[in-house]
Structure 1
Amino acid sequence: MTMPSFLRNILVACAFLGRVPVPGRVFDGFDGRMGAIAHAFPVAGFLVALPGALLFWLMLTLGTDALVAALLALSLQALVTGALHEDGLADCADGFGGGRSREEVLDIMKDSRIGTFGAIALFMSFALRAAMLASVAMHLPPLAAAFALPASGTLARTLMVAHWQALPPAREQGLATSAGQPDLAGTARALAIGTVLAGIPVIAVFGLPALFLALSLGGIAAFAMTRLAARRINGHTGDTIGAVEQIGEIAVLLAFSLTA
């Protein structure tokens, strides 16, 4: 039986955005052009965040301190995704923080070693997200608070697609180049899917103002990162895409913590 194309795209996106095991037949005939299936990224973002959300809910239900529960949930989420986006954030922090010319920035970002700027960025990302998740948990029941993780994961992966489409590849070769770019139609689909998929639980748990604030802050964060990448390296890389995801999560969770 032939697998529906949208379901296959979701499974491929889950495998790309994390360490989710999927059947090998899912990749039959797939040419590796991730840009063509970018509309599935928001759904994949929702799914890969579910294990962390489940652990967050369980820990809170058992009476675990909210900050400890948040750190455990984020740690599990990093395991599920293979810390893919955290790696991109660290590389961007090192490159933009330590490089002067475009070539220097790209060379530093390509280096697998983490420098001072990258270490600080990783620490701040975990600290801020954990603190904001804990703040949400202090004002909402455990199940409602747990929805913050898949909702922020969905919107952050949606912002990734917008950044990916807005800039050309910064390198002639590389993962971002070989993966292709989403077109305007695919980006519009991703924005619509991500807004609806995240919007339903956000409105139910936090209210409509929270969704508006999350979209606003997330959009501002993604726009700022896109402008920075355009100015410093004249395009996007896999690292800048990952950094947008992390910055987007922080912005969205900030909106939730302000409106919980």
Structure 2
Amino acid sequence: MTHANLVVDTARATGFLSRLPVPDHFFEGHDGSLTKASRAFPLAGVVVTAPAGLALALTLGLGLEPLVAAMLAYAVVAMTTGALHEDGLSDAADGLGATRDRERALTIMRDSRIGSFGAAALILSYGLRASALAAIAAVIGPLGALSIFLAVAALSRAAMVWHWRVLPPARTDGLAVAMGGPDGASALFSTVSAAAIAVVLIGVAAGPLHALGAIAAAAAVTAGFSRYVRKRLGGQTGDTIGATQQVSEIAALLALALLT
């Protein structure tokens, strides 16, 4: 793997995970598969959330209350990503919460309308992430909060790749199938690179114990959620992949809030 290939993969992953403009030449001759580009999900996560992270640091530096600054940061994330992962979380929550029947759950998850479980999941996700980030920012300041924000973005995108890799498709069609699953090398690179980003960024901002705590929390919740999804649905969907990003990010932020 060359640096040039990694840049291309990061650009393609950024184009998939966000609404940020990516030059067309990165997609020339590309078949649309994310098998290789998935290795760059953590790096793309940093790119995608950088505007929100800068907004977080700026508003905190100007003296805005940490909770308000955190909520604004997540508003920017919603704009840059199109709330892609939140959509997956709400659909997964509706399907998994409304019924124990596998086929019925998969049908509900394909319905674009949001139900009570999906709405509750979104409220809890935004509330927990913003309040945990605010608690962290109140202690370590604007630059530390920026570092942690970007590190958690990388970790949670690696969690998506891991979930996608270890579970078979729950359907024979759908976005996750059409895009192709990550291969073993891509999943390994994604995991190692995300851990390295977390160790550096969180370690500098808060210390190595905090970095290890965030990694452990994200890994544990991702493994537990993946096991639950396997039991309920028999495999992953695009919605459960998005939901994995959300629950792993929540876990990492809560662990950091407890340790800070």
How high is the TM-score relative to the length of structure 1?
Answer: 0.97
Structure 1, gaps ≥5 residues long: none
Indicate the residue corresponding to 1:205 in structure 2: 205
1:104-115 to 2 correspondences below 5 Å: 104-115=104-115
Identity of aligned residues (%): 43
Equivalenced residues, count = 258
Indicate the residue corresponding to 2:82 in structure 1: 82
Q: Give the 3-state SS of the residue equivalent to 1:71 in structure 2.
A: helix
Deviation at 1:99, TM superposition (A): 2.1
Indicate the residue corresponding to 2:100 in structure 1: 100
Segment of structure 1 superposing worse, 89-98 or 142-151: 142-151
Deviations 1:108-152 (A, max 9, x none): 000000000000000000000010011011111211112221111
Deviations 1:13-47 (A, max 9, x none): 00100101011111001111112221100100111
Structure 1 CA distance for aligned equivalents of residues 191 and 120 of structure 2: 31
Asked if the contact 1:91/1:239 (under 8 Å) is kept, the reply is yes
Deviation at 1:259, TM superposition (A): 2.1
1:152-171 to 2 correspondences below 5 Å: 152-171=152-171
Deviations 1:145-170 (A, max 9, x none): 12221111000001111100001111
Asked if the contact 1:36/1:180 (under 8 Å) is kept, the reply is no
Indicate the residue corresponding to 1:240 in structure 2: 240
Structure 1 residue runs of 4 or more that deviate by more than 2 Å after TM superposition: none
Letter in structure 1 aligned against 2:235: G
Structure 1 CA distance for aligned equivalents of residues 35 and 104 of structure 2: 27
Deviation at 1:184, TM superposition (A): 1.5
Indicate the residue corresponding to 2:142 in structure 1: 142
Asked if the contact 2:67/2:134 (under 8 Å) is kept, the reply is yes
Asked if the contact 2:151/2:198 (under 8 Å) is kept, the reply is yes
Deviation at 1:228, TM superposition (A): 1.3
Indicate the residue corresponding to 2:130 in structure 1: 130
How high is the TM-score relative to the length of structure 2?
Answer: 0.97
| Counterpart check, 1:258 vs 2:246 | no
Deviations 1:202-260 (A, max 9, x none): 11111111111111111111011101110111000010000000001101111221222
Structure 2 CA distance for aligned equivalents of residues 141 and 5 of structure 1: 36
Indicate the residue corresponding to 1:40 in structure 2: 40
Indicate the residue corresponding to 1:181 in structure 2: 181
Structure 2 CA distance for aligned equivalents of residues 97 and 145 of structure 1: 33
Structure 1 CA distance for aligned equivalents of residues 81 and 199 of structure 2: 23
Asked if the contact 2:140/2:206 (under 8 Å) is kept, the reply is no
Structure 2 CA distance for aligned equivalents of residues 112 and 171 of structure 1: 17
Deviation at 1:185, TM superposition (A): 1.6
Letter in structure 2 aligned against 1:153: A
Letter in structure 2 aligned against 1:137: A
Asked if the contact 1:13/1:40 (under 8 Å) is kept, the reply is yes
Deviations 1:153-199 (A, max 9, x none): 00000111110000111110111111111121211111111111222
Structure 2 CA distance for aligned equivalents of residues 33 and 100 of structure 1: 32
Structure 2 CA distance for aligned equivalents of residues 103 and 25 of structure 1: 41
Asked if the contact 2:170/2:237 (under 8 Å) is kept, the reply is yes
Structure 2, gaps ≥5 residues long: none
